[in-house]
Amino acid sequence: MAEKEIKLMKGNEVIAHAAVRCGCDGYFGYPITPQSEVMETLMELKPWESTGMVVLQAESEISSINMVYGGAATGKMVMTSSSSPGVSLMSEGLSYLAACELPCLVVNCQRGGPGLGTIQPSQGDYFQACKGGGHGDYHLIVLAPASVQEMHDFVELGFELAFRYRIPSMLLADGAIGQMMEKVVLSPQKPRRSDEQIAQQCGSWAACGKGRRAKRNVATSLYLQSDELECLNIRLQEKYREIESREVRYEEFMCDNAEYVLVAFGSSARICSATVEMARAEGIKLGLLRPITLYPFPIKPLQQMVERGVKGFLSVELNAGQMVEDVRLAVEGRALVEHYGRMGGVVFNPESVLEAFKNKLLK
Amino acid sequence: MKETIIIAGFGGQGVLSMGKILAYSGVMQDFEVTWMPSYGPEMRGGTANVTVIISDKRISSPIADSFDTAIILNQQSLDKFESKVKPGGVLIYDTNGITTPPARTDIDIYTIDAATECARLGQAKMFNTMILGGYLKIKPVVEMEYVMQGLKKSLPERAWSLLPQNEAAIKHGAEIIKKVR
Amino acid sequence: MAEVEMKVENMVYAKPRLITDTVMHYCPGCSHGTVHKLIAEVIDEMGLEGNTIAVSPVGCSVFAYQYIDVDWIEAAHGRACAVATAAKRLHPENLVFTYQGDGDLAAIGTAETIHAAARGENIVTIFINNAIYGMTGGQMSPTTLLGMKTATTPYGRDAALNGFPYKVSEMLAHLDGATYITRQSVHTPANVRKCKKAIRKAFENSLAGNGYSMVEVVATCNSGWKMSPVEANKWMEENLLPAYPLGDIKCSTLPK
């Protein structure tokens, strides 16, 4: 079908295009600012007429995530998107998806909280995304896009990882990336997987109708015997260790000879890259480490930086200090770690980050 | 080349779409661009603004606190953004509804009476492209050929019949923009 | 007990082929086993074993997936109709049904149920209404009758304190997307036969793409009601059936 196309699009619109183009089978969502353009774009694109993808507006985020659960349990490539308060409602469902080891993609275009909060961008859901959010010991693979192009690319990557490890993937964006327009190269249309391909890939677990299978498949997370539930947990933890060893993704910017390093993800990382340029112009040896996967977190790269003599880190986040805990855990007290953030939807600019860096680390 | 522009006014004045046309024009000329809107409650009838950055290099922060150019369409936005124009930068404003004109002397200030002109021509919808034309006269960051491509890309197909009118408005805007100081 | 030799030629009754050998956890006298049997028989008779996706609830029938030999998805409490919606939309050729009790469906799952029905999802809900939460130990449910004693209404359900019960089927029957709504029971052999016909009709209705179908089964919970199975049947006839009368409530087609 279509060749590579360069467009100017909002991050949210791109999510929709990327979903259709990577062969997604179903989207289930509920409107919430600042991400409503995802479903609006899908409805405009009418993929049910082209690829056969199902798009459905649910009656709530609770229903959306359980539709995702239902679709994922049958082996289909399904997704939802929401923003912070909606993702809170989805937390129970995410725990079920993780427990049943079902692949899916959840986009959180974060807004300021807690509570109803604001529709302005925030990164206040780092804990929720990376440390569980729902009940029980589980993880999601969390990808943090920092550009509209990455909003596009991480849809397919999120699905790929979700199916590779049978785990829900989360794309943790924010209102700024969702609402921002940038140049984006859209990938060519991929066909949706055929029933045979799904049977090959997911036949051992997908509850899509027994067909000619001898053994039925059941998606359940109920284990009334504690030792059985512990076995599930042990398996999950082994999987998480494997993901931690294989799937860490990050980007370094001017870190080679850096004495100090900013650690920032998503839109914060974009802002911080300008801070780094400003600092370098002043002769300060500052770099930026941008975690692309928030879970698994880039622990080793941080430790290697400590080993090669980085004196301090500033974790720059649009929140009260969440990722900074993971930076501190990685650094293990061997270098200075500080946090700078704004909350409630207030966004810092490169100048204020530089000032905070000087105040907190250079003094 | 890197140009950071704030366009600010009332919701409904075409602020966001003016920014989109400009950004898409940049894309057509193979520049890097970002278009970052305010999307708060103001988009429902109050003030609206958008930051557009056009650059020949990768754009780091899409969020800016100071601007090379400010295009101002109401008094609230003037009050808010006059001080954010970089020294030596450009401020363009439509005089309609401006009660306290800008006072800075370290920037270049232009006016464009697009609202009055559009009313005179009976083409209220051409307001934003007329202003854009004025801006491009002062800051030709994108070549006109690509502006016309960007205009077409920005408009939905059902509005393509209005392309000639918009093109004319862009050209007309270039003619009516005036330097104040 | 004397050994009885079973010979095929002497067999007049057998466990349905699609009922698994797993020992059921249901209390003696409970209606779930009978309804499971009917579902298993209908799936087998309609040749749907290979293309059925069943969705089980949270409640006593949470383990329904252990007993009927088809593919199952165990839903979070109340969410079965949302889960089934997606499964059906993504597998439109399959039979997709939910199996839910009154706590799961009529309390925590009200929104999912109403909206699936309103959208006219081509799914079937088998709704077991025994007017009590069985699994958690006999608490009041939305369909608990006024005056009925439960663990959370120890002096009887009082409208001023606990609100009124409501009729799920009658409520759903108002929705354009719901086309076959019926209320059945399995407390006599005649009712069992009628209930089976209703389940078949509901399955056929959904496979025909005619919107949402519900078979409500007014059922006993002798443990929760603290009665013997026989007493429970009698109590159900005298108390539940007047409040939840049996019969078809709606048989229609989707509006054009």
pLDDT, one tens digit per residue, over C219-252 is 999 999 999 999 999 999 999 999 999 999 999 9
Mean pLDDT, rounded, of chain A = 96
Q: In terms of DSSP H, where are the helices of A22-103?
A: 37-45, 47-50, 61-73, 84-99
What is the CATH classification number for the domain harbouring A169?
A: 3.40.50.970
Which helix (H) or strand (E) element contains residue A27? strand A26-29
Q: Do A272 and A190 share a structural domain?
A: no
- Asked if A48 contacts A72 with a C-beta cutoff of 8 angstroms, the reply is no
pLDDT of residue C2: 62
pLDDT of residue A4: 60
In a domain, A280, yes or no: yes
Q: Is A198 on the interface with C (CB under 8 A)?
A: no
Q: Do A131 and A23 share a structural domain?
A: yes
- Asked if B49 contacts B87 with a C-beta cutoff of 8 angstroms, the reply is no
What is the CATH classification number for the domain harbouring A306?
A: 3.40.50.920
- Asked if C32 contacts C128 with a C-beta cutoff of 8 angstroms, the reply is yes
Q: Which of C62, C69, C73 sits opposite A70 (nearest CB)?
A: C73
In a domain, A219, yes or no: no
Q: Which domain holds residue A158?
A: 5-195
Q: pLDDT band at residue A1, thresholds of 50, 70 and 90?
A: very low
For helices A84-99 and A61-73, the axis angle rounded to 10 degrees is 30
Q: pLDDT band at residue B44, thresholds of 50, 70 and 90?
A: low
Cβ–Cβ below 8 Å for A181 and B32: no
For helices A61-73 and C110-119, the axis angle rounded to 10 degrees is 70
> What Cα–Cα distance (Å) separates residue C69 from each residue in A113, B69, C18?
46, 70, 5
Q: Do A169 and A267 share a structural domain?
A: no
Q: C250 burial class (0-12, 13-18, 19+ CB within 10 angstroms)?
A: middle
pLDDT of residue B3: 98
pLDDT of residue A363: 81
Cβ–Cβ below 8 Å for A347 and B63: yes
CB proximity under 8 Å: A 57-86 to C: 58-60, 62-64, 66-71, 73-74, 76, 78
Any long-range contacts for C42-46 (C-beta under 8 Å, 24+ apart)?
C42/C196, C42/C199, C42/C200, C42/C203, C43/C18, C43/C68, C43/C70, C43/C95, C43/C203, C44/C16, C44/C17, C44/C18, C45/C200, C46/C95, C46/C200, C46/C203, C46/C204
For residue A57 the two structure tokens come to 């507006």
Cβ–Cβ below 8 Å for A62 and C79: yes
- 3-state DSSP call for residue A336? strand
Among A180, A273, A342, A355, the strongest candidate for a mutation testing the B interface, having the largest count of B CBs within 10 A, is A180
Q: Which of A154, A178, A195 is the last residue in one of the domains?
A: A195
The single-letter code of the amino acid at A267 is: S
Pick the range with the lowest mean pLDDT from A296-310, B35-49, C52-66: B35-49
Which helix (H) or strand (E) element contains residue C102? helix C102-103
Instruction: Determine the distance in angstroms separating the CA of A328 from the nearest CA of chain C, rounded to an integer.
Output: 37
Q: Name the interface residues of B facing A (CB cutoff 8 Å).
A: 20, 23-24, 27, 32-37, 39-41, 60-65, 153-154
In a domain, A314, yes or no: yes
Structural domains of chain B in order of their starting residue, each with its CATH number: 2-179 (3.40.920.10)
In a domain, A221, yes or no: no
In a domain, A242, yes or no: no
- Asked if A109 contacts A124 with a C-beta cutoff of 8 angstroms, the reply is no
Residue percentage of chain A with pLDDT more than 70: 99
Q: How many domains does chain A have?
A: 2
Residues from chain A that touch B35, judged by Cβ atoms under 8 A, are 8, 180-182
Cβ–Cβ below 8 Å for B62 and A33: no
Chain A and chain B share a number of CB contacts under 8 A equal to 70
Mean pLDDT, rounded, of chain B = 93
In a domain, A71, yes or no: yes
Q: Is A211 on the interface with C (CB under 8 A)?
A: yes
Q: Do A318 and A178 share a structural domain?
A: no
Q: Do A182 and A300 share a structural domain?
A: no
Instruction: Mark the ranges of chain C whose per-residue pLDDT is less than 50.
Output: none
Instruction: Determine the distance in angstroms separating the CA of A195 from the nearest CA of chain C, rounded to an integer.
Output: 10
The CA distance from A323 to A269, in Å, is 13
| Contact flag for C and B (3+ C-beta pairs < 8 Å) | no
pLDDT of residue B127: 95
Q: Do A133 and A266 share a structural domain?
A: no
Phi-psi map region of A125: left, alpha, beta (phi>0 left; psi -120 to 50 alpha): alpha
- 3-state DSSP call for residue C158? coil
- Asked if C224 contacts C134 with a C-beta cutoff of 8 angstroms, the reply is yes
The single-letter code of the amino acid at A115 is: G
Q: Do A149 and A40 share a structural domain?
A: yes
Instruction: Determine the distance in angstroms separating the CA of A210 from the nearest CA of chain C, rounded to an integer.
Output: 4
Q: Is A220 on the interface with C (CB under 8 A)?
A: yes
Q: pLDDT band at residue A2, thresholds of 50, 70 and 90?
A: very low
Cβ–Cβ below 8 Å for B27 and A119: no
Q: Do A255 and A190 share a structural domain?
A: no
Q: Do A269 and A182 share a structural domain?
A: no
pTM over 0.90: yes
In a domain, A138, yes or no: yes
Half-sphere exposure of residue B53: CA atoms within 13 angstroms, side-chain side: 21
Q: Do A160 and A277 share a structural domain?
A: no
In a domain, A318, yes or no: yes
Q: Please check the confidence at residue B43 and state whether its pLDDT lies above 60.
A: no
Q: Which of A150, A178, A195 is the last residue in one of the domains?
A: A195
Q: Is the ipTM of this complex over 0.90?
A: yes
Question: The dihedral of CA C21, C27, C29, C34: what is its sign?
Answer: negative
Cβ–Cβ below 8 Å for C65 and A218: yes
Mean pLDDT, to the nearest integer, of A150-176? Answer: 98
Cβ–Cβ below 8 Å for A180 and B34: yes
The Cβ of residue A355 has, within 10 Å, a number of other Cβ atoms equal to: 14
Cβ–Cβ below 8 Å for A182 and B35: yes
Dump pLDDT digits (tens) for A248-283: 999 999 999 999 999 999 999 999 999 999 999 999
Q: Which of A195, A210, A239 is the last residue in one of the domains?
A: A195
Q: Which of B27, B39, B65 sits opposite A179 (nearest CB)?
A: B39
CB proximity under 8 Å: C 65-104 to A: 65, 69-76, 79, 82-87, 89-91, 94
Q: Do A183 and A57 share a structural domain?
A: yes
For residue A291 the two structure tokens come to 């975690």
Q: Do A189 and A95 share a structural domain?
A: yes
Residue percentage of chain B with pLDDT more than 90: 87
Residues from chain B that touch A275, judged by Cβ atoms under 8 A, are 61
Residues from chain C that touch A198, judged by Cβ atoms under 8 A, are none
pLDDT of residue A39: 98
